[in-house]
Chain A
C-alpha cells in the first residue's frame, strides 16, 4: 500500500517524523501557489490523485 511518506510531495516534520506536510503546486486561473496540508506519514495514499512516487 502506497502511503504519504512514499510521495515526493511529503515532507516530514523535524520534531515528529510520523507527521508531515503534503506540499503541492497549484495553478488556478488567477495565481500560482504552493499548498501545504498536514498529513500522517503512514496515511493510505493509494487513492490520492496527486501521489507521485519518490
Chain B
C-alpha cells in the first residue's frame, strides 16, 4: 500500500510541477537514479559570459604527451608524424570510469578538464596567458609548460603556414577581423561522418588498408612510369591510418581492462559488477568489430567522436544518431527484448550527457559568442531514408524523451520535417519545445533535399542522408558527400557590404581601404547606382573570403594532416589521400555563412525611400548623419528606425529588395567555385555575430549606431521591428525561394507558454507548422516567451516591442506596462496562471 501511495504522490507532484512549468524539477523527478547522478555529475564546460565555471582546468597532459612523440618523428610526412603523436596520447592519457556510467570515452585526463588544441593559430595560442582560473595548479609550472609549447609551435601552426602563402593584401584585410570570421584550416573544423562505412569496424578498415598497401608496393616494384610516382606519398598516409586505427582499438581496450579490474577487485554491488563486465565486453568488441547491440553501437559512435576530437577541435557535431542507432534499438528492445525501454532510455540519456560533457578550450572572444556551450552541436533527427520513406523510428522518440529528462543545452536537435512524419513523433518534438528546451529546430526536408541537389549536384538518394554540417547547412553522409572540414570558414560580416557601398569601399571603423572604389554616393544619380555599388562590394567581400578558404582547403593536407579522419573516410582509405584532399572525389558542400545580412535590405530600403523616392533627405545629410554616428541627428535617426520599411512585415517595398539582394548573391555564388569546382551559396545566420560585430560595423541607414547589437539572426527581422506579427514574418520569408535563392535561412519565432498549453496548444502549433511548410520555408526555431525573455524585455524594452501579454480579454504589450505589473506577470507566467 505504502508504495502505491508514494507513487501517486510522486505523480501528482510531477503534475503540479508541470502545471507550474518547472521543467527542470519535472525532469529531476521523472528520470532514473542513474541519469540523475550522471546529469548532476557533469562539469559544465560551456562558458557563461565568457567565463568558465570554477574548477574547470585546461588539460596539460594531452599536449605534453603529444609533443613528446611529435618531436621524435620530426621530418616524417605530416600525417604519419601526427599519427605517432596521437597514438602515444591514446595509449597514455589517463582514463576514468564514472560511477553509474555505461558509455566510455572522454577528451582529457579528468572530468573537469578541457582540452586545448594549439595547432591552429599561434596568435590565438598566446591568449592562453590571459586566462584566469583554468591554468592548473601549480600555476607557475603550468605556465612554463604552456610557454614551451607556444615557443615550439610559434610559426608551425596551420594558419601560420597558410599566412606565408596568402596574398599579403588579402591576409591583412582578412586579419583585420572586420569582414569575416573563422580559420581556414581543419585545425578548427567539423566533419561529416559516414557510419555505414565506419560501423564495418576498424579491423575491416585495417584489412582494406593492408590490401591497398600491398597492391601499391607491388606496383612500385613494377614498370617505372610517371603514374606510379604519386604512390610513394600514399604509403606513409596509409601507414598513418593504420597507426591511429590500431591506437583507437587499444584505447577502447584500456577501458575494457579498467572495467574488468573494477569488477574483479573493487566493486561489491553485484548489479554494478554485471554492468562493468558488460562495459568490458563492449569495449573489447568496438570499435574493432561491428556493433551487435545498442550499447555497442552507442559506444562505437562515442569512441569515434572522442578520437576525432583528440585529432582536432571539432566545433560542430554533424550527426544523425536516431538513424544510425535506430536498428540496434529495434533489435534490443522490440525484437530480442534484451533491453527494457527504461534501460534503453538510460543509455540514450547518457549518450546526451557524455556528449554534453565534452569540453574544448576556445579563446575568450569565441566563447563569449557561444553563450554557454562548447560548440554548435546540432544533431539531426527524423527525415527520410534514401528511398524517400519516413526514417523516424523508436530511437527518434527515445532521443526526444531523453532530452526532456537530462535537459542539456548541447547537443541540440534539428528535426527534418516532411509530410509523412507521424503524429506521435510530431508530438514528441512539440513536447521538447513546450518544455522550454528551445529545440528541436524544424527543418523542411523536401525543400532542403532539393536545395542540396540544386547547389552541389548530389544525387537525390544521397542528398536524403543529410545531417546538419554545423547549425544549419545540410550535408550528405555518403562516400563522396561527406565534408571533411569547415568550408564555411568563409563567414562574412555582410553589413559591411552596404557600409562599403556608402563609403567608396573605405572602412570607417578600422580606417582602411577595404573594398573596391565604387564611387562617392553623393554623385549617384539614382538608387540603381547605389545598388550597383552594393553588388560590387558584395562580390569583393565574398571573393576575398572564398579565395582564402579555398587556399586553406587545398593546403590543409600539407599544413595540418588528418590521419584519423582519413582512416574513417572511405574515399581517403581507397585512394591513400588525406580526407581533406579535394582531389579524392569530394563533391563539395561549401557555403558562405552570412552574418548580419538583413541590415542590407533594411538600409537599402531606407535610402531608396527617403533619399530617392520621397527626397525627404539628401544623400549628403544621410552620410553626415552616419559619419557622426547619428549623434546630433536623433530625430532623423528615429525617422529612419520607425518610418523606413523594415524586413519581416510583409511589405513588398523592402521584401522585394531582399529578394533582389539574394538573387544577386545567388548568381555570384555560382561564379565562386570551391576546389571541387562546386558552388558557394549564402547561408544567412548569426550564431552570435550580431554581438561580436557590434563594435566593428559603423552607423547604418536602418538607424543603427556603432556599438548597437546587430539584428539577431539569419533572416529574422530586427528585434522589435516585426510589428505585423509572426505570419507577416513567415510571408516575407516566403517571398524568396528556399531552394535556389540560398543555402538555408535561419528564422527565430517567439511563442508564449499560453499559446502552447494543452492539446489546443499542440493543435495550434501543428497548424502553424503546416502554414510554415506551405510557404516553403526551410527552417524555424522556437523560443519560449519565458520569464528569462520577459526579464530581458524589462532591460531592453525597444527590442521586445512585439511581446504581447496573452491573457483572455486583456490587451497589452509587455513593454508598455509598469515594472511592478511586469514582475507580477513574470511570476504568473512561471506559475502558469497566465
Task: From the candidates B94, B95, B111, B257, name the one contacting A31 in the complex (CB within 8 A).
Answer: B111
Interface pair B42/A30, CB less than 8 Å apart: yes
Chain B 437-463 interface 0/1 with A at a Cβ cutoff of 8 Å (1 = within): 000000000000000000000000000
How many of chain B's residues have a CB under 8 angstroms from any CB in A? 25
Does B112 sit at the interface, judged by CB under 8 A? yes
Which residues 34-73 in B have Cβ within 8 Å of A in the complex?
37-38, 40-43, 55
In the complex the two chains form, is B91's CB within 8 Å of A38's CB? Answer: yes
Assess whether B635 is interfacial by the CB under 8 Å rule.
no
Q: Is the CB of A35 within 8 A of B261?
A: no
Q: Is B110 an interface residue (CB 8 A)?
A: yes
CB–CB A33/B265 < 8 A: no
Q: Which residues of B contact A37 (CB under 8 A)?
A: 92, 94
Interface residues of B in 771-824 (CB under 8 A from A): none
Nearest CB on B from A7, distance (A): 13
Known pairs A23-B258, A23-B261, A36-B254; A30 contacts B266 (CB<8 A): no
Tell me if A33 and B99 are in contact (CB < 8 A): yes
Partner of A28, one of B37, B92, B94, B112: B112
- What string of 1s and 0s marks CB contacts (under 8 Å) between B1-45 and chain A? 000000000000000000000000000000000000110111100
B691 at the interface (CB under 8 A from A): no
Contacts of B96 in A (CB 8 A): 26, 33-36
Contact A33 to B258, CB < 8 A, known contacts A11-B265, A26-B96: no
Among B40, B55, B110, B265, point to the contact of A35 (Cβ < 8 A): B110
Q: Are A30's CB and B110's CB within 8 A?
A: no
Residues on A with beta carbons closer than 8 Å to the beta carbon of B166:
none
- Chain B residues lying within 8 Å of A25, measured Cβ to Cβ, are 266
Please state if A28 and B111 are interface contacts (CB–CB under 8 Å). Answer: yes
Q: Cβ of B40 and Cβ of A34 under 8 Å apart? A: no
- B627 in contact (CB, < 8 A): no
Q: Is the interface of A mostly helix, strand, loop or mixed?
A: strand
Interface readout for A16-40 with B: 1 if CB under 8 Å, 0 if not? 0000010101101111111111100
Q: Are B257 and A13 in contact (CB under 8 A)?
A: yes
A35, B262: Cα distance in complex, Å:
10
Contact, CB under 8 Å: B261 / A33: no
Given contacts A11-B265, A13-B257, A21-B258, contact A35 B95 (CB under 8 A): yes
Q: Is A30 in contact with B94, judged by CB distance below 8 angstroms?
A: no
Tell me the complex Cα distance, A33–B42, Å. Answer: 12
Q: Chain A residues near B43: list those with CB within 8 A.
A: 30
Bound Cα distance from A30 to B112, whole angstroms: 9
Contact with A along B629-646 (1 / 0, CB 8 A): 000000000000000000
Inter-chain contacts of B97 with A (CB < 8 A) = 33-34
Scan residues 100-125 of chain B and give those whose CB is less than 8 A from a CB of chain A.
110-112
**B513 part of interface (Cβ distance < 8 Å):** no
Question: B98 contacts the other chain (Cβ, under 8 Å)?
Answer: yes
Nearest-Cβ distance from residue B132 to partner chain A, whole angstroms: 19
CB neighbours (8 Å) of A33 from chain B are 96-99, 111
Q: Are B258 and A34 in contact (CB under 8 A)?
A: yes
Indicate the member of A29, A30, A32 with the most B CB atoms within 10 Å.
A30
A32 touches B55 (CB 8 A): no
Q: Report B-chain residues with C-beta under 8 Å of the C-beta of A11.
A: 257, 261, 265
Bound Cα distance from A47 to B258, whole angstroms? 24
> Using an 8 Å CB-CB cutoff, how does the interface string of B258-281 with A read, 1 for contact, 0 for none?
100110011000000000000000
A38 touching B258, Cβ below 8 Å: no
A31 touches B99 (CB 8 A): yes
Q: How many residues of A contact B (CB 8 A)?
A: 17
| CB-defined contacts of A35 to chain B, threshold 8 Å | 94-96, 110
C-alpha spacing A32/B111, complex, angstroms = 10
Docked-complex contact A30 and B41, CB < 8 angstroms: yes
Residue of B nearest to A39 (CB): B92
B131, chain A: closest CB distance, angstroms:
21
Measured CB to CB, the nearest residue on chain B to A31 is B41
For residue B41, which residues in chain A have a CB less than 8 angstroms away from its CB?
Answer: 30-31
CA distance A36 to B42 in the complex (A): 19
A31 pairs with B98, CB closer than 8 A = yes
Partner among A21, A31, A34 whose Cβ is within 8 Å of the Cβ of B266: A34
Given A11-B261, A23-B258, A36 and B94 touching (CB < 8 A)?
yes
Tell me the complex Cα distance, A32–B38, Å.
10
Contacts of B42 in A (CB 8 A): 30-31
Q: Mark B227-266, 1 if CB is under 8 A from A, else 0.
A: 0000000000000000000000000001001100110011
Q: How far is the CA of A32 from the CA of B98 in the complex (A)?
A: 6
Nearest opposing residue in chain A for B259, CB measure: A34
Q: Nearest-CB distance from A3 to chain B (Å)?
A: 19
Least CB separation from B37: chain A residue: A31
Chain A residues with Cβ under 8 A from B38's Cβ?
A: 31
Contacts of A23 in B (CB 8 A): 258, 261-262, 265-266
Closest to B257 in A: A21
With a cutoff of 8 Å between Cβ atoms, the chain A residues found around residue B111 in the complex are 28, 30-31, 33
Docked-complex contact B95 and A36, CB < 8 angstroms: yes
CA distance A2 to B258 in the complex (A): 23
Least CB distance from B78 to A in Å reads 27
Docked CA distance A5–B61 (Å): 23
Report the separation of the CA atoms of residues A13 and B265 in the bound assembly, to the nearest whole angstrom. Answer: 14
Q: In the docked arrangement, what's the CA distance between A31 and B34, Å?
A: 12
**CA–CA, A28 and B41, complex, Å:** 9
Bound together, the chains give a CA A38 to CA B97 distance in angstroms of 15
Say how far B267's CB is from chain A's closest CB, in angstroms: 9
Cα-based distance from A21 to B99 in the complex (angstroms) = 19
Q: Which residues of B sit under 8 angstroms from A38, Cβ to Cβ?
A: 91-92, 254
What's the Cα separation between A21 and B261 when bound, in Å? 9
> What's the nearest-Cβ distance from chain A to residue B726, in Å?
41
Task: Indicate the member of A21, A29, A31 with the most B CB atoms within 10 Å.
Answer: A31
In Å, the complex CA distance between A33 and B607 comes to 63
Q: Which residues of A contact B261 (CB under 8 A)?
A: 11, 21, 23, 36
Residues of B within 8 A of A21 (CB): 254, 257-258, 261
- How many angstroms from the CA of A38 to the CA of B55 in the assembled complex? 25
A29 closest partner in B (C-beta): B55
Whole-angstrom CA separation of A33 from B104 in the bound complex: 12
Assembled-state Cα–Cα distance A33/B38 (Å): 11
Chain B 310-343 near chain A by CB (<8 Å), digits 1 or 0 = 0000000000000000000000000000000000
A-B contact pairs, 22 of them (CB 8 A): A11-B257, A11-B265, A21-B254, A23-B262, A23-B265, A25-B266, A26-B96, A30-B41, A30-B111, A31-B37, A31-B38, A31-B41, A31-B42, A31-B98, A33-B96, A33-B111, A34-B96, A34-B266, A36-B95, A37-B92, A38-B91, A38-B92
A-B CB proximity, top 5 nearest:
A31-B41, A33-B98, A36-B258, A33-B96, A35-B96
Interface residues of A (CB under 8 A from B): 11, 13, 21, 23, 25-26, 28-38
- 4 additional A-B pairs beyond A11-B261, A25-B266, beta carbons within 8 Å, are A23-B266, A31-B37, A34-B96, A36-B254
